[in-house]
Amino acid sequence: MKSLVWFRSDLRLHDNPALKEASIVSNEIHAVYVYSNEQLRTHNEANVKVDFLIKNLFSLEEKLKDLNIPLTIVKGSGFEGDSELILRIAEEREIEKVFCNSEFGEDETNRDYKTLKVLKDSGIGFQSFHDKVIYPPGSLRTGQDKPYSVFTPFKRKWIENFDMEFLDIDFDYIAKDTTNISSNIKSFDFDFNQTHQVDMTNWKEGEEEANKKLELFLNNKAIDYSKNRNDPIIDGTSRISPYLALGIISPKKCILEALKCNNFEFSSGHIGITKWIDEIVWREFYKNIMFSFPKVGRGMPFQDYSKSIKWRSDESELNAWKTGNTGFPIVDAAMRQLLQEGWMHNRLRMVVAMFFTKNMLHDWRVGEAYFMENLIDGDFSSNNGGWQWSSSTGTDAAPYFRIFNPITQSTNFDKEGLFIKKFIPELKDMDKSIIHNPPTEHRKYCNYPLPILDLKESRLRAIEAFKTAKN
C-alpha cells in the first residue's frame, strides 16, 4: 500500500503513532507538511517558535530520508484549504490512505473533519491518532459522566485508569521502497519574517536534542525539582516545553522515562519526579478542557460570570508591562526574560499574569496573545489554561479570586535578587534588602521607573470588580 503521513505538531520519528501505523501497513510512504503563514498569524505563533519549527523540519527531513520517506513542504493558506490540498497530493501520488496525529483546536478539528469527508468521497482512507494525550480526549469522566473541570480529581482518575501498556512506544521502523518523489525543503520559500532577539543556542533542534534534555533533567535535576522549581535563577526545570509544543518529543516518552527513574511509582519515591509528572498531566488536563469546552478556544472564559468583569484598558500601562518597565522588579525581570530567551520560568508566568489581570485589571486575552507572540514553547491550550487560571476566569477557580503579591513572590523565590539582577542590569549593584521594592531615591539613581500602580489600591479595585461581576 502507498501511504501519506501528514505531519503537523508531531515532528519526530519515535513514538509517532501515525508514522508507526503507516510503516506497518505500507510498502511506500510519502510525508507532507503544510506550511501556512496565514495559519501561523491566526494563532499568534511567535517568530522564535516559527524559526524553531523550520529548523526542526530540516532535522525531521534528514531522519525520514534514512527510511526512504521523502518530506514535501507545501504552501497552505487558511485551515479550510488544507483538505483540498491534501486531497490533491493524495490523488497526484495515487495515495491509498492518509495518516496523521490529531490536534485539538477548533480550527484543526474542523479541518480534519473536512479532510476525512473529501478523502472518503474520493475513495481514499484517512486515519488519525491521539499522540498528545495518554487518554483519548474527553474519555476521562466524572461519576456524573461529565468532563473534569478541576485538576486534582482529573489527576486522580488519570492515575487510577493508568495502564503501563499505554507507554508501549518501542517500534523499529523499516526503510521503505524508494519513490520518485524528492524532498523539496531546501528549495522551499518559507517566506516568514523570522526576526527576533532570542539567542537560539539554548534551543538546539532535533529529536536527539530533546531526548538529551530529558535525560539530563531526569538524571541530574529531577530529584531536586520540587525544591528548585520555583527559584527562577536556578536551572532546575527540564526546559523541554518547546520540544513538547512542536511534538519533537512525546508526553508518553516523558512519562515513561520519568517512571523508569522512580520505580514506576506516581505518588511515592522521588517527590521531584512525581511533581514533574504532575506538570505533564496538567498539559493533558488543559487539552481535555479545550476538547470538552470548545468555548475556551474561542476567546471565551471558562467561568461564565467573568464575562461581566469590567476590564481596564491603559496603553501606557500595557507598554510598561510588555517591555518590563512596571517598576516592580520581579515582574519586569520576568518580562525581559521572555523577550531575551523566548521563554519564561513557570512561577513567573503566574506572577506576571496575575499582576496583569488583577493589579492592572487588564483583559487576560491581551496577555494570552502577547505570550503566544513571544514564547518559543507557545502551546495554545496550556497558555490559555494558565492565563485563565491566573485571571480566575478558568478552571480550578476555588477560591474564585486569587492574587499574588509580586513583592512577596520576589522575596520568597528570588531571595538574593539574583534573577532580578540578571535581567535588570540597572539594579545589579542594589542590596538584596531593597531590590525587591527599591526606595524612590534608589530608583532615580539607577534610572529605574517608579511603580505604575499602588498594590493595595489595585488589589482592592480588582476584588471589587470580580465581586461585582459575580453578583
Please say if 405 is a catalytic residue. Answer: no
Measured CA to CA, the distance from residue 251 to residue 441 in angstroms comes to 50
CB 241 within 8 A of CB 381: no
CB 419 within 8 A of CB 393: no
Q: Which of 348, 244, 339 has its CA nearest to residue 287?
A: 244
333 CB-near residues (< 8 Å, 6+ apart): 232, 324, 348, 414, 419, 420, 422, 423, 424
Catalytic-labelled residue, pool 364, 374, 383, 389: 364
Please say if 343 is a catalytic residue. Answer: no
**3-class DSSP state for residue 129?**
strand
CA angle 436, 441, 445 (to 5 degrees): 90
Catalytic-labelled residue, pool 6, 203, 276, 282: 282
Q: Which of 453, 447, 244 has its CA nearest to residue 361?
A: 453
Measured CA to CA, the distance from residue 11 to residue 21 in angstroms comes to 16
Sheet holding 71-75, edge to edge: 71-75, 28-35, 2-7, 97-101, 125-129
Catalytic-labelled residue, pool 37, 209, 228, 311: 311
Q: Which residue's C-alpha cell is 484517512?
A: 126
In this structure, how many other beta carbons lie within 10 angstroms of the beta carbon of residue 444? 12
Please say if 364 is a catalytic residue. Answer: yes
Catalytic-labelled residue, pool 209, 279, 373, 426: 279
Please say if 346 is a catalytic residue. Answer: yes
Q: Which of 174, 10, 34 has its CA nearest to residue 90?
A: 34
Residue 344 is given by DSSP the state -
In this structure, how many other beta carbons lie within 10 angstroms of the beta carbon of residue 433? 8
Torsion of CA 365, 383, 57, 3, to 10 degrees: -100
Please say if 282 is a catalytic residue. Answer: yes
Catalytic-labelled residue, pool 346, 405, 412, 437: 346
Residues annotated as part of the active site? 279, 282, 311, 346, 364, 387
